[in-house]
Structure 1
Amino acid sequence: MISPKISVILPVFNQENYIGKAIESVLSQSFDEFELIIVNDGSTDNTLDIINQFDDSRIKLINQENLGPGASRNNALRIAEGEYVMYLDGDDWYHPNALEIAYCEASSKDTDLTFYQMINYDDKTGEIYPNDWFDMSTFDESFENRVFSPDETPGSIFDLSVGVCQKIYKSSFLRDIDARFPEGIFFEDMPFFYYVYLKAERISIIKRHLYYRRKHDASITHVVDCKFLDTVPAGQELMRIFIENEWYEMYKFDLLAYKINGPRFALRDIEEKCKIPLYNLIKMDYCEIKSSQYYDDFLNTLGPVKKKFFEDIIVSKDYEDFKTLNH
């Protein structure tokens, strides 16, 4: 059997209301040289029954206990046979020509990584609307219709969308750099993206909306609940990647601001019951930083608001004490 040109990886957990549309959007593509690897991540609703209703030889199904999105994507990537890899979330769907357009761009330009635009869909109102983040507004016209490298975007990498589903990746490139998602945490696509982006040598963009991103009440990023505790380990993993790959010095000014802001905004917005656990995680992290060689960098590079947050966390005795300091 000839290997497929694209492996579409679709992890899913308890998305019986949406998974049918996601699968249909792949099977009905104008481009048909693909395999669809669905990872049923321990769903307890009717998700698996809906998946099993699709009888198509291009579907590969992995059934596993609930391991989370990082492990699901890693397990699918291990068996992917496509020349390129694309990702789809179980509550989203593709434009009918998404695979064809993405493959033509990536293969003709021989890219390691190609971005395309996403567009938002509001599940309550049916409104479809763009935003600058998913429209890749960071990339101006000078980046269109050509190949570029990360060296051309040194001051703006933390303004890029980290969403794993917004790109098509060359499989051999992912294997060569041993690209893996952190497992056991949410926000796993953030450290994955920066590792892959900064390792890439050939990047391009497609200024077309190829992906529909559904916004609904149950989506991971819609409700700031205890999943946002994982902004701390995700930020720790990001620091490790930058340090181990010797990118730290070049990017530290923006990197440290980015690392502080994730948990800072999460602590501001997270549900009340999650505030103390998140504060405790942040405090442990910052106390480790204080005893590391990077402590002075945080003090010297953070802006006043982020620096005050950083220092208030360290000196506060508990969350209530922190609130009195940081108001």
Structure 2
Amino acid sequence: MVKISVILPVYNSDKYIRKAVESVLAQSFNDFELIIVNDGSTDNTSNILNDFDDSRITIINQSNQGPGASRNNALDIINGEYVMFLDSDDWYHPDALKISLEEITRYDADLTFFTMINYNDGEVYENDWFNLSQFDESFENRAFHPCETPGSIFDLSVGVCQKIYNTGFLKRIHARFPEGIFFEDMPFFFYVYLKAERISIVKKHLYYRRKHDESITHVVDEKFFDTVAAGQVLMRIFIENGWYDMYKYDLLAYKINGPRYALRDLPLNCKDEMFMLIKKDYESIKQGEYFLDFLDNLGPVKKKFFLDVIKAGNYEEFKTLNQTNSSPAK
């Protein structure tokens, strides 16, 4: 057994993968394994990975299955007491493993957040989201329960790479990523966060998050269709675990907003298909037991969006409906 397992899924990332791997191998803490899941790459990624000769590296070569399956397949074979995740276009601070391990063990936490810093074409910059600004000083230097979360839990960063996790805890709660969709971090995070008994934070930048034109969250394209499926998984998680009634006001708003913003930002040639995915979802909600909850808990803009999607037969009809009698944003 090792102390930390680092999981690194990669698909066609030959521009960046060498730096990601080297940032792990150069860590000041050495008791780790690095599990790289080569998810059917067709560029030069495989050749770059084969250049590394280090006994701490395990490479899983598989057909393209997506990020959720890649992480699950790695979780099935890890040997670490703790686990961290790295994206193939990002990299770690040299002390990332050392500091994150010290923090999670100090408070016997199920998971520990650390801060991330953004990198874009040579520019390094911070933002409140990845700086954990939602947590004031009273949350530092201790463990806390999710019920203490300030504000809404839906204001927290869901990125899986911003935490270190106790492996035993993840196994006890049977934590798995949704497979076959993008935005798999989101339902995984909320399930793990609300199952945790002890959480801690360390406000140190241990992770460099690269922004570039090909990154999943930077390019708004067909991948954002999966905001509908991810929201469906999230609803199911909250309902099945008895969290729905406690969080439904913010949960329903969060579920509406993901696809709503995606529909707004998607290129024109994607809007019709996205609209029909949302409409199918909302028609299902209309026939289910939670329909009145949406009507009673959504703010005016989100409620109008919800009802206009149900009324409209296609995206063009929706545009006409949604542009008339608009309510104040809320």
TM-score normalised by L of structure 2: 0.97
Give 1:232's aligned amino acid.
V
Identity of aligned residues (%): 72
Match of 1:40 among 20, 38, 41: 38
Matched residue, 2:7: 9
Residue in 2 that maps onto 1:93: 91
- Helix, strand or coil at the partner of 2:177: coil
Query: What letter is aligned with 1:325?
Result: L
State the SS of the aligned residue for 1:267: helix
Give ranges in structure 2 of 5+ residues lacking alignment.
324-330
Number of residue pairs matched by the alignment: 323
**Matching residue of 2:307:** 311
**Structure 1 residue 155: deviation in Å?**
3.6
Q: What CA distance in whole angstroms lies between the structure 1 residues aligned with 2:309 and 2:148?
A: 36
The Cα offsets for residues 188-245 of structure 1, whole Å up to 9 and x where unpaired, read as: 0000000000000000001000000000000001110000000000000000000000
Which amino acid is 2:120 matched to? D
Residue 128 of structure 1 pairs with residue 124 of structure 2: yes
Q: Secondary structure at the match of 2:292?
A: helix
Is contact 1:120-1:128 (8 Å) kept? Answer: yes
Give the distance between the partners of 1:287 and 1:56, measured in 2 at CA. 53
**Which of 7, 11, 27 does residue 25 from structure 2 map onto?**
27
TM-score when scaled to structure 1? Answer: 0.98
Retained in 2: the 8 A contact 1:138–1:156?
A: no
Any idea what the Cα deviations from partners look like across 1:88-108, whole Å, max 9, x if unmatched? 000000000000000011112
Pick from 103, 108, 116 the counterpart of residue 118 of structure 1: 116
Structure 1 segments of 4 or more deviating over 2 A? none
2:259 aligns with one of 263, 271, 286: 263
Partner deviation per Cα, 1:53-109 (whole Å, 9 max, x = no partner): 010000001000000000000000000000000000000000000000000111121
Partner secondary structure for residue 33 of structure 2: strand
CA distance in 2, matches of 1:27, 1:318: 52
Corresponding residue SS for 1:100: helix
Unaligned runs of 5+ in 1: none
Residues 4 and 31 of structure 2 are in contact (CA less than 8 Å); yes or no, is this contact kept in structure 1? yes
The answer (yes or no) to whether the contact 1:232–1:282 under 8 Å persists in 2 is yes
Q: 2:178 aligns with which of 170, 179, 182?
A: 182
AA partner of residue 7 (structure 1): S
Deviations 1:145-172 (A, max 9, x none): 0000101017420000000000000000
1:250 maps to amino acid = M
Q: What amino acid is aligned across from residue 74 of structure 2 in structure 1?
A: A
The separation in 1 between residues aligned to 2:151 and 2:239, in whole angstroms, is 18
SS in 1 for 2:18: helix
- Is the CA contact 1:5–1:33 (under 8 Å) kept in the aligned structure 2? yes
Q: For 2:186 and 2:130, locate their aligned partners in 1 and report how far apart those are by CA, in whole Å.
A: 15
Question: Conserved in 2, the CA contact under 8 Å of 1:121 and 1:127?
Answer: yes
5 Å-filtered alignment, 1:196-235, equals 196-235=192-231
Q: Whole-Å Cα distance in 2 between the matches of residues 256 and 77 of structure 1?
A: 30
**1: CA distance, partners of 2:246 / 2:199:** 20
2:327 match? none
Give secondary structure in 2 for the equivalent of 1:292.
coil
TM-aligned CA deviation for residue 271 of structure 1 = 1.4
Q: Are residue 169 (structure 1) and residue 173 (structure 2) matched?
A: no
Give SS of 2:80's match: coil
